[in-house]
Structure 1
Amino acid sequence: MRVAVFRPEEYLSRTVDLLRSQGYDVLAVPMIGIEENDVCVRDADFTIITSQTAARIALRKNLLRGTVIAIGPKTKEALGRECLLPSKYDSKTLYEEFREIVAGKKVNLLRSDKGDPVLNNLSEVCDLEEYQLYRIVPLKGAMQKEAVREIAEGRVDAVIFSSSMIAESFMENARETNLFEKVIERLSSIVTVAIGPPTAGKLQSFGVRALIPEEYTLDGVISLLKRLQSA
């Protein structure tokens, strides 16, 4: 099975190694890039970290305050410390499960400029301050457009979308190569996987129904692919 994955450059090699170790041929192209912002944070009772990228920036710049809530195990691993985790690794679950815990407290929310707005609703119960540690920018070079062609021409068996912005950037490249309709047709006929409901919702807005793994991680995606292969 040939699998396409479009994570940022910082995470691609590790992702490729993991997929290849499971027997997959991999097409790996970054669809988004990361640009850091200059940020100073206040003291707080809790810090919410919603991505591995935010975790690495926060560690390097000493931005962690109070008890840390991480969106999932990979973010916790990047932090290298004990953290609270939601039962499902998405912003909606984090909001629902920690709303009462952070009530009345000072909470710093560290993330990108494209964060899920559901976490802003925590301001209803706590003193919430959002800090955008980095900007997500779409990549639209020759490499990205060639990846679109690979999928449009049927040379990929499965595609993994690990964020809404990655899905959006991919679709922008598809439009710019005049292959949008062909890509939508292909994604609807092969295995298209979204890591989590927000990404699935973004793909649905383009007319693509994506599968969602039980665990919103790359390991969860691999488990899903294995089950599909053995079915």
Structure 2
Amino acid sequence: MAKGLAGKRVVIGASRKTDEMSLLIEKQGGIPIVRSLQGTVFLAEKEVEPDLQRLIQEGTDWFILTTGIGTETLLNLAEKLGVQEQFKIILQQAKIAARGYKTFAVLKRLGLEPVAVDDDGTTRGLMKALETVDFAGKKVAVQLHGEKAPLLINFLKEKGAEVLMLLPYQHIPAETETLATLYGEISEGKVDAVCFTTAIQVRSLFDYARETNRVESLVDYFQSNTLAAAVGKVTAEALREEGIERIVMPENERMGAMVIELSRYYLDR
């Protein structure tokens, strides 16, 4: 039976379950290469505390929640600080926009109904739902996870919002040496595909390219030579935001399904 990844050198950008992914790639005939682009996401209680206190003092007109775990963490931190009731009142009084089914589940448990939700699990989907909203002069609190989501923040600011970002989880970038190595491998045609399992991995690689003035080159390599594989919609969205259009993505948003889809892509060609 033909194996679509036969002889293909496939990079794994993840830092977790790399053994599992390597085995899946090998079963499809590929050569796995681990280049962790993830860095570390850490619980940033001390860092987010001043912003949370400001939210409690000033309130907000809108609250945009982007992850279930981040929403839960803000609730837990508010409880630690003795302001959970005030935080819940702010949630009750604000208009809420939510991205993702896990966020929606947390709100449902709190008895809260968002007025705007995405239709596809992505930030772009959420922005589409907010397209007609007048944010001029409105206070908008945005819960983010790991990174600052410049597309969403710029969208809100361009519509006149006064934005307060809340990042209960923050991101330590990947090792520069790893990023430099992978960029070199891509530019020299030494890898056939890169598997991205989170949007943060995409940002890490492209932030490195930005810092070294090589974004256009990196986009060209992905468009013409090295194939980008995304585990799901949010990761694919991050790739598109960087200018990548040639993306392999499975319908079932799982790592195993991504490897199979990648194998199928090469078989079809």
TM-score by length of 2: 0.55
Return the letter of the residue paired with 1:213: M
Where do residues 59-208 of structure 1 align in structure 2 (5 Å cutoff)? 60-62=76-78, 65-66=91-92, 69-73=97-101, 76=102, 81=106, 86-98=118-130, 108-111=141-144, 114-118=148-152, 121=155, 129-133=163-167, 136=171, 138-161=173-196, 162-163=198-199, 165-171=203-209, 175=212, 185=221, 188-193=224-229, 195-202=235-242, 204=243
Give the superposition deviation at 1:197.
Answer: 3.5
Q: Give the match's secondary structure for 1:89.
A: coil
Which residue of 1 is the match for residue 13 of structure 2? Answer: 6
Q: Give the match's secondary structure for 2:181.
A: helix
Which residue of 1 is the match for residue 83 of structure 2? Answer: none
Q: Give the match's secondary structure for 1:30.
A: coil
Residues 166 and 182 of structure 1, relative CA distance in 2, 3 Å threshold: closer
Distance 2:247 2:192 in 1: 14
* Percent identical: 17
Return the letter of the residue paired with 2:16: S
Q: Give the match's secondary structure for 2:16.
A: helix
Residues 19 and 97 of structure 1, relative CA distance in 2, 3 Å threshold: farther
Gaps of 5+ in 2: 27-31, 79-86, 109-113
Instruction: Specify which structure has the higher proportion of helix.
Output: 2
Q: Which has the higher contact order (CA 8 A, sep 6+)?
A: 2
Which residue of 1 is the match for residue 84 of structure 2? Answer: none
| Native 8 Å contact 1:106 1:126 kept in 2 | no
Q: What is the CA RMSD across the aligned residues, in angstroms?
A: 4.8
TM-score by length of 1: 0.61
Q: Which has the larger radius of gyration?
A: 2
Gaps of 5+ in 1: none
Distance 1:144 1:192 in 2: 16
Residues 187 and 120 of structure 1, relative CA distance in 2, 3 Å threshold: closer
Which residue of 31, 37, 62 maps to 1:30? 37
- How many residues get paired? 216
